[in-house]
Amino acid sequence: MTSFALRRLLIAAPTLFIIITLSFFLMHWAPGGPFDAEASLEPEVIANLQAAYDLDKPVAIQYGLYLGKVLRGDFGPSIVYIDRTVSELLAIGLPVSLRLGLSAMLLAILIGGSFGILAALKKNSSADYAVMSMAMTGIAVPSFVMAPLMSLIFGVILKILPVATLEPRGSLAEAIPALAPITPYIMPVIALALPQIAILARLTRGSMIETLRQNYIRTARAKGLASRNVVWAHALKAAALPVVSYLGPAVASVVTGSIVIEQIFQLPGMGRFFIQGALNRDYPLVLGIVIVYAVAVIILNMIVDLLYGVLDPKVKRHA
């Protein structure tokens, strides 16, 4: 298993290099520039600004300079956020996105997985139909629709939870002071988790139904094992494989790419910084977030591959 992890790390290095290269040149070849909106400035001032950020040099030279900085762990200064480096902005946005994304995925795994198992064990029953109906609704209704509705109902009308702030406000924070620190995250986490709950419920149900039809499950039941032992000790491991495969990129996407939710609730996360950077052609900021996202995807996919070896002995022997 150690050699397998090392091989994956060796593959990850050129993959990350290709991602950085493509992102850099695509950003610079896109129409517009970071100082196009500064039409009132003198040409000499614009030229000095471009020289300060190495934008007056050919793109190939800019790429070489940027790659050298990245190898030293320096993502450069932000063009839009004056006197702030990209590393400082990532230090602000990454903890917020991690807290939001990991909480949403944990909630999605617990609720979606439980509902999926319940639907599989009660196949073609009213419980199964109810779970699948809720799952289809969760997939069909996007986050950018659910989030404003939640803000309107629970934040504006009922005034239970705070809206567009990280300050603990609302009647829930007043009634239960112990919950005050997490009240700003309740609506964003739920809005972000709902589609994932729906997807995980459907994935878990389908995988569990297929696993319960396998011969070794029938054999376990024929030997007189209790249904609880058959499900938790034998079926769940195999049924978890497709779910684990989905969780790798899903966790990275939710953690680093909750753009809509962060914009709606005005959370200072990476998604919001990414939108602002892309709109204002803040090349270093956008590239820094892309690199963090790529690293997260690579690491999480490697963790998924290692989990495969734990869940499936055949994969472990092959690795």
Q: What is the per-residue pLDDT for 21? A: 92
Q: What is the pLDDT of residue 115?
A: 92
Indicate which CATH number applies to the domain containing 81.
Answer: 1.10.3720.10
Beta carbons of 316 and 310 less than 8 angstroms apart: yes
Render pLDDT for 149-197 as a digit per residue (tens, 0 to 9): 988 898 889 889 888 777 787 788 888 888 888 888 889 999 888 888 9
- Show the domain range for 197: 2-318
Band the pLDDT of 111: cuts 50, 70, 90: very high
The whole-angstrom separation of Cα 297 and Cα 97 is 15
pLDDT recorded at residue 34: 74
Mean per-residue pLDDT of the chain: 83
| Residue range 264-288, pLDDT digits in tens | 888 888 888 888 888 888 888 989 9
Ramachandran region, residue 85 (left: φ > 0; alpha: ψ -120 to 50; beta: rest): beta
pTM exceeds 0.85, yes or no: no
Helices (runs of H) and strands (runs of E) counted in the chain: 15, 0
What value does the mean pLDDT take over residues 193-209?
90
Question: What's the structural domain count of the chain?
Answer: 1
